[in-house]
Chains A and B, each alone.
Chain A
Amino acid sequence: MSELRKLTFGYLGLLALLALTVVSSTLDLSGFNVALNLVIAVAKAIIIAVIFMHLRGTLPKLAVAAACLWLALLFGLTLIGR
């Protein structure tokens, strides 16, 4: 069952990224720690959404894009207005 193999790879990838984010936080990357942690979190979220949640089809993607747009407005306008 190739689907099972895909899920297992996704799972192992998530655990590897977890190890990477914890180890990276013990290193001094001079200001890049937060950025690296957030990039890893986004990568984990994409793995979960694509492999575990089977994000496909136009309408589900549209719903996700709408949520991302509103979050971008929320964060963007707040940070610009400061």
Chain B
Amino acid sequence: MSGTESIAFDTPQREQRADTLAMWVFIGSEAMLFGAIFLVFLIAHIDFGPAFAAASKHLSLALGTFNTAVLITSSFTMALAHLYALHRRWRATVWALVATSALGVCFLIVKGIEYGKEIHEGLAPLLGLPFRYDGPDPTHAEFFFGLYFTMTSLHALHLIGGIVVIAGVVALWRAASPANRVRRVVAVGLYWHFVDIIWVFMFPVLYLINR
């Protein structure tokens, strides 16, 4: 063990296990944050079902499906990074990390295109933008779009955080010891997969309800 390693743990394996447990506890606390918002959406959906179903049809199913596939693929490349790191195949690990963050950026660009489309159609009740909606029950449709922007932007913020951390891991790659490289890839991987799981629930809830 070199001098730059942690002195709090006897072995790198122990530190790895402590890291992993801490990430799972952190993910549990994040699940509380998203769970509360999903609960608000569920209650609103029970109360204003028809209005929510009609509003949901204004979202782009094609772009939403494409983005889900992009995020699933990014989880796959992140899992590859983990696998390569365990086998000490560093170059392949870095490429898998770069691919993962590139797919994350792709997701954000498509989400931005969707936001632009919705703002253009007057479906974005935020930042004082005009809300124009000619379907039934515009009051509760506005509530739907408010929740849609809250949920998706909170998710996008988490994705941006993941991309920044991956960029940091890659930037510090050369200076890191093998054990630290593996630990960082495992930790950011757990976070990235969790953000993917959140989207796996958001996609059907927002895009597919009673379509």
Pair A48/B75 contact, Cβ less than 8 Å? yes
Pair A38/B193 contact, Cβ less than 8 Å? no
- Chain B interface size, as a band, is 35 or more
Chain B residues in 8 Å Cβ range of A33: 208-211
Pair B32/A53 contact, Cβ less than 8 Å? no
- Write the A1-42 contact mask toward B (1 if CB under 8 angstroms, else 0): 101100110110011001001100110000001100110110
A59 interface residue (CB < 8 Å to B): yes
Distance (whole angstroms) from the CB of A65 to the closest CB of chain B: 9
Docked Cα-Cα span, A52 to B210, in Å, equals: 31
B65 interface residue (CB < 8 Å to A): yes
B78 interface residue (CB < 8 Å to A): yes
Pair B25/A48 contact, Cβ less than 8 Å? no
B80 interface residue (CB < 8 Å to A): yes
Q: A70-B32, A71-B32, A74-B39 are in contact. Are A25 and B208 (CB under 8 A)?
A: yes
Pair A66/B79 contact, Cβ less than 8 Å? no
B113 interface residue (CB < 8 Å to A): no
B73 interface residue (CB < 8 Å to A): yes
Distance (whole angstroms) from the CB of B182 to the closest CB of chain A: 13
B95 interface residue (CB < 8 Å to A): no
Stretch of B16-24, B130-138, B163-171 lying at the A interface? B16-24
Q: Which of B165-211 contact A (CB under 8 A)?
A: 189-190, 193-194, 196-197, 200-201, 203-205, 208-211
Docked Cα-Cα span, A66 to B29, in Å, equals: 10
Q: A4-B83, A52-B75, A75-B42 are in contact. Are A63 and B204 (CB under 8 A)?
A: no
Provide a sorted-by-A list of 17 A–B residue pairs whose CB atoms are within 8 angstroms.
Answer: A10-B76, A11-B75, A22-B61, A37-B204, A40-B204, A41-B200, A44-B197, A45-B197, A48-B197, A49-B197, A52-B78, A53-B189, A55-B24, A57-B20, A64-B24, A67-B27, A75-B39
Q: Which residues of A contact B (CB under 8 A)?
A: 1, 3-4, 7-8, 10-11, 14-15, 18, 21-22, 25-26, 33-34, 37-38, 40-41, 44-45, 48-49, 51-55, 57, 59-60, 63-64, 66-67, 70-71, 74-75, 78, 82
| 4 A-B pairs with least C-beta separation | A67-B28, A37-B204, A63-B24, A25-B208
